Chain A
Amino acid sequence: MKRRRHDFDLAQLLPVVVATTFAAVLTLLLTLGIQRASQLQSASSALQLASELRSLPQYFGTELTLVQRGLESRTFIGEPLADIAAAREGFDKALERIDTDLIGAGLGGTVEIQRVRGALDAAWARFSPLLVAVDSHKGTPYSDTLSGSRLNSTGRALKSDVDAALAAQDESMRDVGGALKDLATGLQDAVGDRGGSLRSFLMIGAAVSGLLLALMLYFALRSRRAADDARRAERQVADILGTVREGLFLLDRNLSLGHVYSASLTRILHTEQVRDTSFEDLLRPLVPAKTLATAMKFVNLLWKEKVHEDLIDTVNPLNQIEVQFAKSGGGTDSRHLSFAFKRVKNAGGQGEHLLGIVTDVTDRVQISRELEQSKAENQAQLDLVMQLLQVPGAQLQSFVRDSDMALRKCNAILKQPGREESELRSKLNGVFREVHTIKGEAGAMALTAIASRVHQLEESLVALRDRARIDGNDFIPIVVKLDELMSYLGGVGQFADRLSEVQPKGDTMKSVVPPLLANQMLAADTPSLEQVLAKVVKETASAHGKRVALQCRGLEAIPAPYRKAARDITIHMARNAVVHGIETPDNRASASKSETAAVRVSFDDAGAEGYVLTVEDDGQGLPYERILDAALRKGLVSPADAARMERPAVYGLIFRAGFSTAETVTEHAGRGVGLDAVSQTVRDLGGSIGIATSDGKFTRFRMKLPQAVSQAGAAHVA
């Protein structure tokens, strides 16, 4: 990442660096060129001056001669004298200009030129005063007499100076001319030299410009290619982000989403509000507040250098979340999403972004759930078969028959007329009692697979019963579930039939079931009530950590019409006694009671008064206050009634539908249906129930049954 960025910086900087360098070189070259040109100009000017001055010595000779002749012929000599003065001053000025030009041409310090220039000055210095002497003469040189014009003293002095100048002229002018020639030669060299170097600079400048142009063209091409690459890469990234099925996004340090994310993200999250949104805002509508807080903490962990990202995958709270999306047509759609996060680091190891990946894993989750469910179903079926094999065939058939009957009764109850709330509740309680009875039977035969299935139906009934208001439509799912249960139990019935086909053949049983089971099956077709109760008490006690001894008396003498009812009643009451009545061994010990409790079930023939079925335990007695509290809580009695109620009336509450003091609902007890079912059965049989209890000592239920079975009871027994 860093390498790429580095390249990018260089590619951007290189043309600038090159252009700047070249521009500096060009500026330098131009400056030098201008300097050379200016020097060249000065040198040329000096050369021109020097060349012009070379004609002056001859000019001075001519003018001096004119003055000499004029003096001889006594003619006017003012003009040549003025010309000499002007030429001499011109020479002086020209020398000054040459000096200026020499400095301008950079030759001020050149030894050769200085020498030549010195020679010129020396020669001129020798000759110039002679000229000054001549041209400084003022006044008329002649005196006019009658004998003609004669040189006066001025004229004589002038003539002498002119003669002297002319005498020195040849030599001096040769010196001056020679020095000028040397100077001109030196200057010519300098001009050639300056011109040459100017040409060189210009040529180098032209070359540098050409090179710069070429480089600029190269950079322009390269940058265009880079731009093309960038555009292509951008298109490819867009293609990837538009095609990929996962929701991809980047989070910055503030945990905000950037502008780059895959198209699937909005589809998976069902929102268009993604760009520049904080991750927290994105999640908020999807997960509970607690998960949101944990998720934000988790994501922040990824910024911690010390935390190894591979080693925190398992604590990702967003690894699999179930979210609800509102459907366009109303209702919600439940989806499973999986979020994963990866650090995006540069070459320096600095985390710049987090890459977020969100996937819709609903299908995967459903498949795995279905797998688990089918595994559980297989296991349940296996359990069921194993449990069925342990129940004697005839007993199993009897259970299936009874259950079928109970379910038919449920259907009959549900078909009864009546749509008032109270009527519906009464129907619900009726169905409840039947279902609860089936569960109890199944539990008594240790058919836990069936019992737990019936338990589920019971749960639905409880949920319905606990609702503030119910109407007829609420029963539809119950009817469906009853049908399901019926067909399930039908399957159990078929199995029981097949089992019974095998069972009577005696020895052949051993070939299909383990010998132990076969023996058990053959031992007793239908176990006695005492055996069933023993099993119920034993299992319930062990499930609740209690120690109980069951004592039975006279149960074998129960007349046939009462056997089924007595069975239902005693199973319920014995189980209730163990769960609610009996204390734990610790509590019994601290109350100085035997750790093993007693549950007694007896059946007596009271002659003309009928029969008496008694279920008694030596447990803690009926908890008067808890019963009253529970009844108040459930609205079975009003606070005003509660204050007035006598103890027996309070105890009577436990037979009311929907009453239960158990804190938790288990398969064993605590539905608050057992005793009301018992009470209903006893009433159906035309009997009555009496309660005797003493705190910390015992509870006894005595059910009086008439000698002759009543009509209603007959239906129950059938």
Chain B
Amino acid sequence: MNAARQHRLLIVDDSNIMRRKIERSQDIPQVEIVGLAGNGLEALALHEQTRPTLVTMDLTMPEMDGIECVEQLVGRDPDIRILVISALADKATAIEALEKGASGFLCKPFTERQVNDALVKLIEN
């Protein structure tokens, strides 16, 4: 892993508390947080501006939900790596997001360590 290479992380979650929690948890040196979005539409707009390489994505959100957002982001950038972070109410929904192009799933609630481990795995994959 080239330390000079920066991974650009966009955090997408409709809960302010969750966004903050992910933001605070993330302490990987190669990762730089470039944006926080509260729904799918905001995420797409921020993607235009910030060109993230990594995304953490909630599934249930107003305006545009996570699954559609995953589909659109992957459509724009097939190499983008998306970690779905959501409460596991329905496995089929999580699987749908993965089918649309997300790379991993992390179940809420999560620990700081789990977020970091998952992001490291995504970077190294």
Is the beta-carbon distance between B121 and A315 smaller than 8 angstroms? no
Contacts of B105 in A (CB 8 A): 311-312, 314-315
The contact of B104 among A290, A307, A317, by CB within 8 Å, is A307
Q: Give a binary string over A279-304; 1 marks a CB under 8 Å from any B CB, 0 the rest.
A: 00000000000100010011001001
A311 touching B107 in the complex, CB below 8 Å, given contacts A294-B95, A297-B95: no
Contacts A307-B104, A308-B104, A308-B125 known; A315 to B91 CB distance under 8 Å?
Answer: yes
Q: Mark B108-125, 1 if CB is under 8 A from A, else 0.
A: 000000000010011001
List the B side residues contacting A5 at CB < 8 Å.
none
Which one of A294, A306, A310 contacts B101 once the chains associate, using CB atoms below 8 Å? A306
A-contacting residues, B71-112, CB 8 Å: 81, 83, 88, 91-92, 94-96, 98-99, 101-107
* Contact in complex: B95, A298 (CB < 8 Å): yes
Query: Is the beta-carbon distance between A312 and B99 smaller than 8 angstroms?
Result: no
CB pair B106 A311 closer than 8 Å: yes
Q: Are B91 and A294 in contact (CB under 8 A)?
A: yes
- A696-715, CB < 8 A from B: none
Do A301 and B91 form a contact, CB below 8 Å, given A311-B83, A311-B103? Answer: no
B88 touches A311 (CB 8 A): no
Contact B107 A301 (CB under 8 A): no
Complexed CA–CA distance, A294 and B95 (Å):
8
Q: Which residues of B contact A306 (CB under 8 A)?
A: 81, 101, 103, 125
Q: Which of B101, B105, B107 has the most CB of A within 10 A?
A: B105
Pick from B92, B103, B107: contact of A307, CB below 8 A. Answer: B103
Contact in complex: A312, B98 (CB < 8 Å):
yes
A303 CB → nearest B CB, Å:
11
Whether A308 contacts B88 by the Cβ 8 Å rule is no
A641 and B27 alpha carbons, distance in the complex (Å): 75
Q: Which residue of A lies closest to B122 (CB)?
A: A308
Which of chain A's residues has its CB closest to B96's CB? A297
Contacts of B121 in A (CB 8 A): 308, 310-311
By beta carbon, the residue of chain B nearest A304 is: B98
Q: Which residues of B contact A308 (CB under 8 A)?
A: 103-104, 121-122, 125
The answer to whether A315 and B83 have CB atoms under 8 Å apart is no
CA distance A315 to B87 in the complex (A): 11
Decide if A314 touches B118 in the complex (CB within 8 Å): no
When the two chains form their complex, are residues B103 and A315 in contact, meaning their CB atoms are under 8 A apart? no
Contact B98 A301 (CB under 8 A): yes
What is the CB-to-nearest-CB distance from A278 to chain B, in angstroms, rounded to a whole number?
19
Interface residues of B in 53-71 (CB under 8 A from A): none
CA–CA, A298 and B92, complex, Å? 9
Chain B contacts of A312 at CB under 8 A? Answer: 98, 104-105
A372 → chain B closest CB, angstroms: 19
Number of interface residues of A (CB under 8 A): 16
Which residues of A lie under 8 Å from residue B104 when comparing CB positions? 307-308, 310-312
User: Could you tell me the distance in whole angstroms from the C-beta of A345 to the nearest C-beta in chain B?
Assistant: 12
Complex contacts, B118 vs chain A, CB 8 Å: 311
B122-A301 in contact (CB<8A): no
Taking A294-B91, A317-B91 as contacts, is the C-beta distance between A301 and B99 under 8 angstroms? Answer: yes
Residues on the B chain within 8 Å of A294, using CB = 91-92, 95
Q: Bound complex: CA of A290 vs CA of B95, how far in Å?
A: 13
Cα A290 to Cα B96 with chains together (Å): 14
Which of the listed residues B98, B99, B101, B107 has the most CB atoms from chain A within 10 Å of its own CB? B98
CA gap between A317 and B96 in the complex, in Å: 13
Tell me, in angstroms, the Cα distance from A290 to B121 when the chains sit together. Answer: 30
- Report how far A308 CA is from B102 CA in the complex, Å: 9
Q: Is the CB of B95 within 8 A of A311?
A: no
Q: Which residues in A have their C-beta under 8 angstroms from that of B103?
A: 306-308, 311
**Chain A residues closer than 8 Å to B122, beta-carbon distance:** 308, 311
Alpha-carbon separation in the docked complex, A232 to B81 (Å):
44
In the complex, what distance in Å separates the CA atom of A604 from the CA atom of B105? 68
How many Å from the CB of B91 to the closest CB on chain A?
Answer: 5
Structural contact, B101 and A301, CB atoms closer than 8 A: no
User: Which chain B positions have C-beta within 8 A of A297?
Assistant: 92, 95-96, 99
Known: A301-B95, A307-B98. A315 touches B88 (CB 8 A): yes
Whether B95 and A314, one on each chain, are in contact in the complex, defined by CB atoms closer than 8 angstroms, is no
Shortest distance in angstroms between B66's beta carbon and chain A's nearest beta carbon?
14
Query: Which residue on A lies nearest to B97, using beta carbons?
Result: A315
CA distance A306 to B73 in the complex (A): 14
- Residue of B whose beta carbon sits closest to that of A300: B99
Within 8 A of A (CB), among B33-48: none
B102 neighbours in A (Cβ, 8 Å): 307
Residues from chain A with Cβ under 8 Å of B95 in the complex: 294, 297-298, 301, 315, 317
Complex Cα gap A316–B101 (Å): 17
Contact with B along A339-377 (1 / 0, CB 8 A): 000000000000000000000000000000000000000
Shortest beta-carbon distance, A250 to chain B, in Å?
22
Residues of A within 8 A of B92 (CB): 290, 294, 297, 317
A293 to chain B, nearest CB (A): 8
Instruction: For B94, list chain A residues within 8 Å (CB).
Output: 314-315
Contact B107 A314 (CB under 8 A): yes
Closest CB-CB distance, A560 to chain B, in whole Å?
56
Complex Cα–Cα for A317 and B94 (A): 10
Q: Which residues of A, 300-344, contact B by the 8 Å Cβ criterion?
A: 301, 304, 306-308, 310-312, 314-317
Considering the chains assembled together, what is the distance between the CA atoms of A270 and B88 in angstroms? Answer: 31
**What is the CB-to-nearest-CB distance from B90 to chain A, in angstroms, rounded to a whole number?**
9
A338 to B96, CA, bound (A): 22
Residues of B within 8 Å of A314, CB to CB, are 88, 94, 105-107
Residue in chain B with minimal CB distance to A306: B103
Cα A298 to Cα B97 in complex, Å, equals 11
Given A301-B95, A306-B101, A315-B94, 19 other A-B residues pairs in contact with their CB atoms under 8 A: A297-B92, A297-B96, A298-B91, A304-B98, A306-B103, A306-B125, A307-B102, A308-B103, A308-B104, A308-B122, A308-B125, A310-B104, A311-B83, A311-B104, A311-B105, A311-B122, A312-B105, A314-B88, A314-B105
A-B contact pairs, 16 of them (CB 8 A): A290-B92, A298-B95, A306-B81, A306-B101, A306-B103, A306-B125, A307-B104, A308-B122, A308-B125, A311-B106, A312-B98, A314-B88, A314-B106, A315-B94, A315-B105, A316-B91
3 closest Cβ pairs, A-B complex: A311-B104, A315-B94, A308-B104
- Chain A residues proximal to chain B, CB less than 8 Å: 290, 294, 297-298, 301, 304, 306-308, 310-312, 314-317
Q: Which residues of B contact A (CB under 8 A)?
A: 81, 83, 88, 91-92, 94-96, 98-99, 101-107, 118, 121-122, 125
